[in-house]
Amino acid sequence: MLNTLAPGFSRAAIEELSRYKGEPEWMLQLRLQAWETYENTPAPLGRRGDLGTLRTIAGFNFQQLQPFTPTEKDAILPEAIQSSLQASLVNERSGLIVQLDSTVVHTELSAELQQQGVILTDLETAVREHADLVREHFMTHCVPVASSKYTALHAAFWTGGFFLYIPKGVEIEQPLLAQLWVNQPQSAVFSHSLIIAEEQSSVRFVQEYNSKVEGDIPSLLSDVVEVIAKREARVEFSNLQDLGRNIWNISNKNATYENDASVTFVLADLGAKVNLETIGAGLQGNGSAGELVGVFFTDHDQRFTIKTLSDHIGLSTNAETLVKGVLTDSSRVEFDGMIRVRPNAQQTASFLSAHGLLLSKKARGEFIPGLEIAANEVSASHGATTGQIDEEQLFYLMVRGISQPEAERIIVQGFFEPVLQRIPVENLRVRLRRSIISRMSGAYETEADTWVDAQERWEIEGVDEHAVSLDGNPADDEIQLAEY
């Protein structure tokens, strides 16, 4: 019985892993082809003059990691996971699936949804029991194996993972909750989420990434999410990433759309030492709509690179990307957003907005939006800002008896709140507010004692998301959105 793979990645390790799992031959061949792609693909190094996050990841010693660390299925959940579930959607969920390191250890789904044909299981089981669906959609057209060197490595060594199938016309009202825990030092966890929403179905899927790894030895989470939205399907995918500072996170999320389908990605990035995140929307279907709402908070020496793509292919498609984040200490964030309109994508409407608020002189942020327009009946706009808190706004609050830390907290709340209000799951909004307050105060406080009270004061004092200055200029001079 395989207890663990030796550190390092190799063709022999893939064969041993696949043999241990009893996979069909087609999956073994997919893994081996992915390994060849990984070996033949250079690591992305970024561009000259950037903040160096991609070069940092390229220099990471992947061979020091263990690519597979199993856990017994149906094992008793550790106390940390049980406590997290209590603070999560425990009273509101219609299903739950938990992965600990490389293994899914717990799955539950309401009897009503099972009777309607909904499938929620680990991806390893789906490979055996729903092979046709997995073979058609697993890293074929949504997140292809050859998307990057890191997606190829993921395809070669994926383990565990979540599989969700919603039949035609089924509407799931209460959210489904997935939790992933990295629990072993010097380990690599390759979790894959495959969501297939058939015609006129709907679902809310909330996924959380956590870790309980002590010490400074690094571990890796390589995550791929594929959402297949069939005609008139509606999917809301929310992801809360709160990994420890010894975790390196490489994530790739994408959705494909048929006619009149809609997918909303809600992303909250708070943890990890290094975070490379790629989010896409492949709007192939006519009348399809994509939305991305993202928030992040970085401190200490965290490094984030966030890449987004709204790829308009069909007619009359719509997309909106809104990302806001706060940088403190010596953290670095690079945002690279793109709106791409293909030649036949007429009647397109697309919007991209990204904003960073710097609370430290040592923090650095680069927010770069882009347009690639190949059609002529298009409404597309994009904009990005980075800057520090407006000193006049800060002074305005402090002369009214508010301490500087609290005044900064009020302004940060005003900066985040318009984005948080776009998050569809109320419980997730509450948890994000508490996490942001905890980051700024250095200690956990209840939302009622912090966010709500400060929110009321912020509204009274007139401090809002525009309390940001750029290069020393007044907030009124904020960069305006450029429209094509």
**If you write DSSP's letter for every residue of 143-163 in order, what string do you get?**
S-GGG-HHHHHHHHH--S-EE
Q: Would 398 be classed as within a structural domain?
A: no
Residue 476 burial (C-beta neighbours within 10 Å; 0-12, 13-18, 19+): exposed
Instruction: Specify the pLDDT at position 2.
Output: 61
Q: What is the mean pLDDT of residues 216-232?
A: 96
Instruction: Specify the pLDDT at position 454.
Output: 47
Instruction: Specify the pLDDT at position 424.
Output: 81
What Cα–Cα distance (Å) separates residue 312 from each residue in 184, 198, 254, 280, 282? 41, 21, 13, 11, 7
Q: Would 296 be classed as within a structural domain?
A: no
Looking at the predicted structure, is the pLDDT value of residue 159 above 50?
Answer: yes
Looking at the predicted structure, is the pLDDT value of residue 452 above 50?
Answer: no
Determine contact, residues 243/235, Cβ cutoff 8 Å. no
Looking at the predicted structure, is the pLDDT value of residue 445 above 80?
Answer: no
Element (H or E) spanning 87, and its range?
Answer: none
Percent of the chain with pLDDT over 90: 68
Structure tokens at 303: 């490094």
For residue 255, the SS3 value is strand
Q: Would 19 be classed as within a structural domain?
A: yes
Q: What is the mean pLDDT of residues 152-171?
A: 96
Query: Rounded distance, CA 98 to CA 121, Å?
Result: 10
The pairing of beta strand 234-241 with beta strand 262-269 = parallel
pLDDT-derived band at 110, boundaries 50, 70, 90: very high
Shortest CA distance to 233 belongs to which of 301, 296, 164, 183?
Answer: 164
Q: Would 457 be classed as within a structural domain?
A: no
Shortest CA distance to 261 belongs to which of 238, 281, 282, 285?
Answer: 285
- Angle, helices 149-157 vs 25-40, to 10°: value is 150
Total structural domains within the chain = 1
Instruction: Specify the pLDDT at position 469.
Output: 42
Q: Which residue has the higher pLDDT, 412 or 447?
A: 412
Is the Cα torsion angle 426, 428, 434, 436 positive or negative in sign? negative
Question: 36-67: b or e for each residue (b if 16 or more CB lie within 10 Å)?
Answer: ebbeebeeeebeeebbbbbebbeeeebeebbb
Looking at the predicted structure, is the pLDDT value of residue 410 above 60?
Answer: yes
Looking at the predicted structure, is the pLDDT value of residue 425 above 90?
Answer: no
The pairing of beta strand 378-389 with beta strand 468-469 = antiparallel
- Which residues are bridge partners to 311 per DSSP? 282, 340
Structural domain of 178 = 7-260
pLDDT-derived band at 405, boundaries 50, 70, 90: confident
Instruction: Specify the pLDDT at position 442.
Output: 55
Q: What is the mean pLDDT of residues 195-217?
A: 92
Q: Which residue has the higher pLDDT, 230 or 400?
A: 230
Q: Would 101 be classed as within a structural domain?
A: yes
CA geometry: angle at 267 spanning 444 and 53, to 5°?
95
Instruction: Specify the pLDDT at position 66.
Output: 92
Instruction: Specify the pLDDT at position 88.
Output: 62
Instruction: Specify the pLDDT at position 71.
Output: 79
Percent of the chain with pLDDT over 70: 88
Instruction: Specify the pLDDT at position 462.
Output: 45
The pairing of beta strand 176-182 with beta strand 202-211 = parallel
pLDDT-derived band at 144, boundaries 50, 70, 90: very high
Q: What is the mean pLDDT of residues 75-86?
A: 70
Determine contact, residues 291/431, Cβ cutoff 8 Å. no
Shortest CA distance to 97 belongs to which of 106, 110, 88?
Answer: 106
Instruction: Specify the pLDDT at position 214.
Output: 81
Q: Would 108 be classed as within a structural domain?
A: yes
Structure tokens at 374: 């190949």
Shortest CA distance to 447 belongs to which of 461, 419, 426, 468?
Answer: 426
Candidate from 83-87, 338-342, 355-359 with smallest mean pLDDT: 83-87
pLDDT-derived band at 301, boundaries 50, 70, 90: very high
Q: Would 157 be classed as within a structural domain?
A: yes
The pairing of beta strand 234-241 with beta strand 202-211 = parallel
Q: Would 368 be classed as within a structural domain?
A: no
Q: What is the DSSP string of 325-348?
A: EEE-TT-EEEEEEEEEE-TT--SE
pTM, 2 dp: 0.90
pLDDT-derived band at 87, boundaries 50, 70, 90: low
Q: What is the mean pLDDT of residues 269-280?
A: 95
Average pLDDT of the chain, as a whole number: 87
Looking at the predicted structure, is the pLDDT value of residue 153 above 60?
Answer: yes
